[in-house]
Structure 1
């Protein structure tokens, strides 16, 4: 019933044109604020999804490391336990170490990552080869796959390189007092390819054969830096992390993709909430127009309020009518804003209306609409509408005017 009154007040022509103008200005302001929220959050979601996809191409679904030291020893029992998990699609062993790489007169530092044959199934690096081929070789003739930034720093083309590059790695287990030459391993690696994923990886990592890297560092056969795991599609990562952690014990650290990049994901979430809070100010400003529109409407409908009270309407019922009027103004604007935002997002994806300047993996601003964001925005608009409508509706309910015969 109260919405019927509110709808009638919304549609009816007012005696003062200013009331109509302010009401439609309120609707327009709510539409603009809602559209801005949907569009900006959708663009942010698009970038967030893009970054997550790029990072997931390098980081595994789950990574197992030592909880207390750099290396882990994976015995046959541990290997069997991991292999028996039916939700694991593939797993591999890796060793990482800081290295110095030389190509003639060109030198650079990088993280050398030794991987086994299963790494191509666990990681997406093999699908991001930009030059040459994905081939790590063997212990006798190890191949090397460079991040594109490392490749540029060494001034080489991996698919055309004839001469190998020289890699210097620190040795483990060297007695104190040993000379520099005894403390450093020097091995030639043949360039095979280069990958391009994201600058954090392209400028930092080179990938090669696991056995060759283990031999250079002086590791035993079952000593690794980490075990990387790829899960079957649809598997809950958190449950799998708990299963592995319980089975392996506290000496191992089991991390899902979020924990591997805790700082990155925390910053992205913080940025999203900051953007949401800033754009909500547009809706709050629009709420001031709503207060003005409802206050003037209350003044115009004084006689209607007294008639309602004369036929038995309570103060609460009168207040709900004007609260409903404020909600109607706000929700009308928000629905219009959402429709406009959805239309813009469709056009952006289809026709790339706004290009992305500079060198990036895509040439336009990505958008990704989430239902949860739409529901959150609608809830925000509803909350602001109720708060803004409360004072004018309370004044309407407390009116003590009396009806006089004409």
Structure 2
């Protein structure tokens, strides 16, 4: 066994005659334990918030989405349609027409986005699972499905045929207009369902058949604004993206779920990084106790160190004793902190100890990468702190005068 490591283990297990040093050592280890546990709990909490935030928006997010980079729409030819369906890894895809509109009913107006979808859309996404009232729309009908916020704003429910919702969009062109019919394209629709995803999306989309959206916007039969794809379980995303782009051309961009929620990911990652840095600073402060504990131990063991030096131990060997001692203290404290943090997170996940609302527990998620982050952070900071403390040992300190 390594001589320095062997002595370091002995020092870890043995008590000093000086109670103050024992107390400082205990404080140092407790600080590391609490720091590691706190960092793991916070990272698990943010992981839970991230999963919770994306859980609902991902319901209507496809695996891949193809959009044009030139203008608002593009033409999908029959040949391209057949080529896309032949791609290995594409389970199915849906044609989409999306545009900003004004929805009106009984004098109430609401700006929203119409999302015209074909009959395959509810196979691409799980939209059916978030419709608590009513049902999904039928193709080739003037039916729509709106979010809770839009339903409240327009004062409409489901299958109320006495209340039509008029969807309007400005007509393209120039010159003066003398009537509303000259300025706007309009369609009258009936709401048959209400979806409930999250506050933002409930206030944004009006789902309609692609025929209704095409009529509203005067689009050609093969003119669309995007394609949404569902991939097979064994599909290689990058390979499929490359094949789709080769068929649709360089004027299209293909986005996956992460890229579709780019703003949310950036916000969550920025907040996560900020909290990580704050708790890392707390760990750095806690590791100052490790440095103080080792320095106190060096002074307490000065006579023993002189003996070791006289019997042949080098200054480097003696430095390594306290370097290993600091590293062991850090690893032991970090491991105990992770165990405590894991238990707390698991209790929250299993028994909902902390509630945001009476019906909503604070979300947490156990990810292995958070274990790696905590141990890596503790290890790096612990090695640096131990190196700083061990460097206080010099030849003058250990040699017999």
Q: How do 1:315-334 and structure 2 match up within 5 A?
A: 315-334=315-334
The separation in 2 between residues aligned to 1:41 and 1:398, in whole angstroms, is: 44
Which residue matches 1:394?
Answer: 391
Q: Specify the SS of the correspondent of 1:307.
A: helix
Which residue matches 1:264?
Answer: 264
The separation in 2 between residues aligned to 1:402 and 1:59, in whole angstroms, is: 70
The separation in 2 between residues aligned to 1:305 and 1:161, in whole angstroms, is: 92
The separation in 2 between residues aligned to 1:287 and 1:399, in whole angstroms, is: 27
Are 1:284 and 2:281 matched, yes or no?
Answer: no
Shift of 1:251: 1.4
Unaligned runs of 5+ in 2: none
Answer yes or no: is the 8 Å Cα contact 2:352–2:361 preserved in 1.
yes
Are 1:217 and 2:217 matched, yes or no?
Answer: yes
Which residue matches 1:364?
Answer: 361
Shift of 1:267: 1.8
Which residue matches 1:88?
Answer: 90
Q: 1:42 aligns with which of 34, 41, 44?
A: 44
Which residue matches 2:233?
Answer: 233
Which residue matches 1:309?
Answer: 309
Answer yes or no: is the 8 Å Cα contact 1:355–1:365 preserved in 2.
yes
Which residue matches 1:154?
Answer: 154
Are 1:20 and 2:17 matched, yes or no?
Answer: no
Answer yes or no: is the 8 Å Cα contact 2:89–2:236 preserved in 1.
no
The separation in 2 between residues aligned to 1:45 and 1:338, in whole angstroms, is: 16
Give the superposed CA RMSD.
1.8
TM-score (norm 2): 0.94
The separation in 1 between residues aligned to 2:336 and 2:159, in whole angstroms, is: 55
Which residue matches 2:343?
Answer: 343
Which residue matches 2:112?
Answer: 110
Q: How do 1:123-272 and structure 2 match up within 5 A?
A: 123-138=125-140, 141-160=141-160, 162-172=162-172, 176-177=175-176, 179=178, 180-272=180-272
The separation in 2 between residues aligned to 1:206 and 1:127, in whole angstroms, is: 16
TM-score (norm 1): 0.93
Q: Deviations 1:300-351 (Å, cap 9, x if unpaired)?
A: 1122222322333222222121111111111111111111111111110111
The separation in 2 between residues aligned to 1:300 and 1:24, in whole angstroms, is: 16
The separation in 1 between residues aligned to 2:252 and 2:399, in whole angstroms, is: 79
Shift of 1:221: 0.3
Which residue matches 2:123?
Answer: 121
The separation in 2 between residues aligned to 1:109 and 1:394, in whole angstroms, is: 67
Answer yes or no: is the 8 Å Cα contact 1:56–1:124 preserved in 2.
no
Shift of 1:161: 5.2
Which moved further from structure 2: 302-311 or 263-272? 302-311
The separation in 1 between residues aligned to 2:239 and 2:27, in whole angstroms, is: 51
Q: How many residues align?
A: 398
Q: 1:77 aligns with which of 53, 76, 79?
A: 79
Shift of 1:371: 1.1
Answer yes or no: is the 8 Å Cα contact 1:93–1:228 preserved in 2.
yes
Are 1:375 and 2:377 matched, yes or no?
Answer: no
Q: How do 1:51-62 and structure 2 match up within 5 A?
A: 51-62=53-64
Answer yes or no: is the 8 Å Cα contact 2:131–2:195 preserved in 1.
yes
The separation in 2 between residues aligned to 1:32 and 1:400, in whole angstroms, is: 34
Are 1:9 and 2:11 matched, yes or no?
Answer: yes
